Structure 1
Amino acid sequence: MKIGFPVTVGLLTALISGCASSPDRQITELGESKPVSIALCDPSPVKVKRDDSSQLPASTDPETKLVAHEQAEELPFAEYDIPLVPVSGALEAHPQTFYSLSDLESLAQANNPTLIQSAAQVEASRGAAYQAGLYPNPVVGYASDQIGIDGTAGELQGAFVSQEFVTGGKLKLSRAKWTQQICIAETNLSAQYTRVLNDVRIHFYRTLAAQQMLSVHHQLLANARDNLQTHKEMLNLGQTNQAGLLQAEVDLHRARLKQMAAENNLEQEWRDLVAMVGTPELQCTILKGSLEPATEVYDWSSAMHQLLENSPEIVAAWERVQHDEITVERERVQPIPNILVNVDFGHNFETNNNVAGVTAGLPLPVFDRNQGTVDQALADLNQSRANVKRLELSLMSKLSDKYRDYRTARQHVETYRSEMLPKAKEAYDLLHESYKRRRAPWPEVLMAQKIYYDLQAEYIMSQLQYHESEIAIRGMLLTGGLEVPSAPMSGGHIDAVPKPR
């Protein structure tokens, strides 16, 4: 059965919202990183009930018990596993199916079109290298001499064969130059694989974070509904005024808008993810994974060393230097003249003899010694050498930004996990216990609950920032999984000849 997006979202909202005050949800112990499963319970809205046996007049007891929540509501911690909502009414959600990061990486390697483009550039360079080393074809033809003497077809009738002999090792150098372009194209292909996988990982964690943020906003919406119902009860008891009730209604509308924004964000992140994978027809399903940070911690020196030693961009830059060095040698031997040999043979009808002739020639490099192209090749070589240094400095600057984000995000994650979230939960538990003993008002319990959920949303975003920066550092700052791969070398005058050299 096909499920429309608004219907599915509404049903999912109602189901999860109904759990806001249920003691049946499971909670992961503080400090663990295992995901928590949300139990779908009664979808009825949270209702505030009076405990008639303990109700006192508002005038004599300002902390009258408003809601009979005798069991502490267990707050979920850190991780959720909930199904993604459909991105359109034409798609169906499959709750029994889920995708892990490795599944999506495999799909991307098989379907992302930029990998096909980059592989095609390798094959193109391979073809050019083969072509550049081929020997020139011989020329054969018909020859005659003195046509029309005494009304004849000519004194000499025959054929000729002409062949150019390449000197100076030009063909070998040409093939070596284009073989170096194969190396550059293969390095670019490796870099493109890394770009695609980096982007898939980033979009996977963004979608996973959006999935968890939607769950948190469901809880915040349930909290806002409880808060509004509580203020209605307080208004009946004379413990608040109309302004307090209106503010609670505004808070409920804000929570609804944030929940809708979270749904829209999840929908958009899913579309981005399947586009990066290269399978836009992929149906919405569950993402299986964790936002908890890895145990490995990067320091600046090791991150910088890894980048400078292993970056495909730097490797390709050095390969371009080698390419340009070969190009300089190739252009320096270009003035060495090739030898053109011509052999003709035929029948001399005047003497009635078979005859043959040989001619050989070569151009003299008097005016054109290819000096301008050699200067161009030397300039290109100097640019390539300077580009290696420029690239190293540029990557160092980018890494500095990412490393700052990485350290900040990791510090935030560790502080949220070890300090802020446990203390916020403990504060909620203490207030709830005090409420049961009629020592704390229920609105304070709701406020503590809301603070905990807000902290959890901030925690999720810190985890996401950690993964984005960690992927960038581990992936050598390569992104652009849907951008057209750059060519191994840009074309120029040297390559703008009928035969590549």
Structure 2
Amino acid sequence: MKRINLIAAIMVVCITAGCSQNRWQVRDSSPVDLDVSDSTPTSAVPVEDQTPYISLVSATDDLADENAAATAEPQVVHSVPAGMSLADFESLAYSNNPSIRELAATTQKAAGFRNQVGLKANPIVGYQATQLADRNTDQHVAFVEQEFVTGGKLELNRRVLNEAVRAQLLELEAQKLRVSTDIRVKFYEALAAQRRIQLISDFQSVTTKGIEVADSRIEAGEGTRIDTLQATVQKNEVDLALQQSQIQFDAAWRGLVALTGTSHMEPTTLIGELPRQMEAKDWAYLSSTIVNSSPEYSAAQTRVAQARAALQRHGVQATPNITVQFGAGVDNSTNNGMMNFQVGAPIPVFNKNQGNICAAQAEFCRASIEVQRIQKSIEARLAEVSRDYDSALAAVTKYGREILPNAAESLKLAEQAYEAGETSFVQVLVARRTYFDSNLQFVQAQSQLAQASSKVDGYVLTGGLDAVADNSGDDSLRGLTFSQQ
């Protein structure tokens, strides 16, 4: 009985040691805290326009006062203090956008797998009894067994999964840029709609006054029904443009709220300015810069490093692990103690991991080609953005320097000619409509320029709510390490 108690005591000590080791490993393998909600992607500062628009407001009671208003100096449109800026939307999106939160979770997941694949095998503690039916010849042994990994497999496992974590962090950075770009594009779309609403609202008073003037000319016997109809048509078109602009603003606002990942928010004034001018870009230089700096491209390169590490890992899989067993106990037939020692290793005769090595080589080839594909994809997207940017820049420059000044001067001359009786009222309406349309087209060009510039700043990454890929990996390498069969 004393001998059996001795064996039981040995097993308790071994189990206690194993549990202590396991508790240490759990503390060591806790997931890495990857708090990424407050970080922001690298991008250019949004452009601001300090140049005022030409006011379309006409607070006149006759055509002479309307002419004076049309030729007045441009008025500065001040930002409304209450409202939301671009930075407000971006801040909300970085904390609440579901795609960002999802990628942050997959990054934590990859970090957990990285820790798991590098853990050592747990020791095996057991008890063995032989010849129990043969009285006084029974043997009782307590043993400890441990498998020792060779070839640096555990370190190579960690290296493979460490590249997966790095790639996930870069994917997270790329997703933040996608969200930021989409936020900026929608913001400038909504800001342009808001600006059009302001312009149209200002011009409504002019069209209303035009109808009144046309009616008064008919009463005075100087005008015709055509003048009234033309003025009415112009006012109806302006009213329709206001309605459509309001619809565009509401839709863009809903898009902004969706991108932030927040619940419903009531529309409010947007604080910001549309660009009036920008510099031309060297697209050849910018193409190489964006490709080399893009987190999307860097993530693809990291996947190549991960595939290379995986190929190296599979290359040492056939190196046999060594299993060592040590036991101690008593032999009742001799009334003496006894010790056993055992060493074993699998012989890689049939399974030399040749299939996984072949697959790893193919994956390395695929990952290398994927880098080339992403590079060409970035270049193709940048080509489209360069077209939009240059076209919008040409329009903004042309409207700002020539078309808007000429439209304002044309309106001024038409109203002066009408006052002098040298032209009809219809010509005044035409000049007003040209001036009005030119201002709306200018706003549209500004919006397109701001959106194209936002895409360039965001490394031509879009899709802030698209499905994200989970490339966090798994812990299969650890199972492969200890199977070897």
Q: Specify if TM > 0.5.
A: yes
Give the whole-Å Cα distance in 2 for the aligned partners of 1:413 and 1:355. Answer: 94
Q: What corresponds to 1:4 in structure 2?
A: none
Farther-moved stretch of structure 1 (462-471 vs 123-132)? 123-132
Partner of 2:13: none
Quick check: 124-133 or 240-249, which moved more? 240-249
- Whichever residue aligns with residue 127 of structure 1, its letter is G
Aligned 8 A contact 2:118 2:157 in 1: yes
Whether the 8 Å contact between 2:164 and 2:473 is mirrored in structure 1 is no
- 1:118 is aligned to 103
Match of 1:72 among 68, 75, 81: 68
Question: SS of the counterpart of 2:275?
Answer: coil
Secondary structure (helix, strand or coil) at the match of 1:72 reads helix
Q: SS where residue 276 of structure 1 aligns?
A: helix
What are the residue-to-residue correspondences of 1:44-443 with 2, within 5 Å?
69=65, 72-74=68-70, 80=77, 96-150=81-135, 155-236=138-219, 245-246=228-229, 248-293=231-276, 295-443=278-426
Q: Quote how far apart the aligned CAs of 1:178 are.
A: 0.8
Task: Give the match's secondary structure for 2:144.
Answer: strand
**In structure 2, what is the equivalent of residue 57 of structure 1?**
none
Aligned equivalents of 1:445, 1:188: Cα separation in 2: 58
Residue 476 of structure 1: CA displacement? 0.9
Amino acid in the other structure paired with 1:445:
V
| Higher RCO structure, 1 or 2 (CA under 8 Å, sep 6+) | 2
* Deviation at residue 38 of structure 1 after TM alignment: 7.7
List runs of 5+ in structure 1 lacking aligned partners. Answer: 1-31, 50-66, 84-95
CA RMSD of aligned residues (A): 3.2
Q: Report how many aligned residue pairs link the two structures.
A: 435
Q: Would the alpha carbon gap of residues 458 and 499 (structure 1) be closer, same or farther in structure 2, given more than 3 Å must change? A: farther
Q: Provide the C-alpha distance between the structure 1 equivalents of 2:207 and 2:197, rounded to a whole number of angstroms.
A: 15
Deviations 1:439-469 (A, max 9, x none): 3333322321221111111111111111111
- Residues of 1 paired with 2:419 and 2:319: CA distance? 99
Counterpart of 1:459?
442
Report the CA distance between 1:372 and its aligned residue.
0.5
Whether the 8 Å CA contact 1:81–1:212 is kept in 2: the answer is no
Which AA in structure 1 matches 2:51?
K
Would you say the 8 A contact 1:225–1:252 is kept in 2?
Answer: yes
Aligned residue in 2 for 1:472: 455
- The whole-number CA distance in structure 2 between the counterparts of 1:129 and 1:422 is 64
1:401 aligned counterpart, secondary structure: helix
Residue type at the aligned position of 2:70: E
Q: Percent identity?
A: 30
Q: 8 Å contact 1:162–1:341 — kept in the other structure?
A: yes
Q: Is the contact made by 2:154 and 2:481 (CA closer than 8 Å) also made in structure 1? A: no
Matched-pair contact (CA < 8 Å) for 1:111–1:279: yes
SS in structure 2 of the partner of residue 483 of structure 1: coil
Q: Cα distance, 1:283 vs. partner?
A: 4.0
Alpha carbons 2:57, 2:203 under 8 Å: kept = no
Change beyond 3 A, Cα 1:266–1:309? same
* Displacement after TM superposition at 1:126 (Å): 1.8
1:173–1:326 CA contact under 8 A, matched in 2: yes
Residues 448/217 of structure 1: CA separation in 2 closer, same or farther (3 Å cut): same
Shift in alpha-carbon separation, 1:294–1:37, aligned structure 2, 3 A: closer
Partner-residue secondary structure (3-state), 2:334: coil
CA–CA distance in structure 2, aligned partners of residues 236 and 106 of structure 1? 60
Post-superposition Cα deviations, 1:253-273, rounded to whole Å, max 9, x if no partner, equal 333222111111111211211
Q: CA separation in 1, counterparts of 2:425 and 2:386? A: 44
TM-score (norm 2): 0.81
Deviations 1:137-159 (A, max 9, x none): 11112211123224x8x711232
Residues 1:253 and 1:70: Cα distance change in structure 2 (over 3 Å): closer
Output the CA distance in 2 between the equivalents of 1:174 and 1:180: 10
- Whether the 8 Å contact between 1:223 and 1:446 is mirrored in structure 2 is no
* Structure (1/2) with the larger helix percentage: 2
| Amino acid of the structure 2 residue aligned with 1:130 | N
Hey, what's the Cα distance between the residues in 2 that align with 1:496 and 1:397?
Answer: 42
- Contact (CA 8 Å) 2:145, 2:326: kept in 1 or not? yes
Contact preservation (8 Å) 2:297, 2:375: yes
State how far apart, in whole Å, the 2-side matches of 1:471 and 1:463 are.
12
TM-score (norm 1): 0.78
Q: Which amino acid aligns with 1:349?
A: N
Give the structure 2 partner of residue 55 of structure 1. none
Query: Secondary structure at 1:73's aligned position in 2?
Result: helix
Instruction: Write the letter of the residue equivalent to 2:121.
Output: P
After superposing the two structures, state which structure 1 stretch, 383-392 or 247-256, moved more. Answer: 247-256
